[in-house]
Amino acid sequence: MADTKTLSGVSYSPAMDEKTHEQTYRGFVKFVEIGSVTVLCWVLALAVGGIREAWLTAIGGVLLSWVAAAIGAFVPSIGWKAPAVVLALLLLALALG
């Protein structure tokens, strides 16, 4: 989002709530980060199931990615890192399977 404090002539109108807009934007970016890593987990889980024929591991990976995404969404300091751990575990399962 544009930094309205450094651009000349650009500012929020009085009818717009700058703080709410910025919070909404940050929330959207956080959602996209967590969602992207979670979807990568699902794709990797399908690869683990299809290539290694370890469907129970794949199902466990999907369920674990949902839990990790929820934790990342509710704990701001963790964010996308929680599902990234599941992503790493699924990569390991695919490599070593």
In a domain? residue 62: yes
In a domain? residue 3: no
In whole angstroms, what is the distance from residue 42 CA to residue 59 CA?
A: 9
Chain segment 48-82, per-residue pLDDT in tens: 999 999 999 999 999 999 999 999 999 999 999 99
Chain segment 31-47, per-residue pLDDT in tens: 999 999 999 999 999 99
In a domain? residue 10: no
Expressed as residue numbers, the domain containing 68 is 32-96
Q: Which residues are CB-neighbours of 37 under 8 A, at least 6 positions away?
A: 69, 80, 83, 84, 87
Helices 81-96 & 18-51 angle (0-180, nearest 10) = 10
- Counted domains in the chain: 1
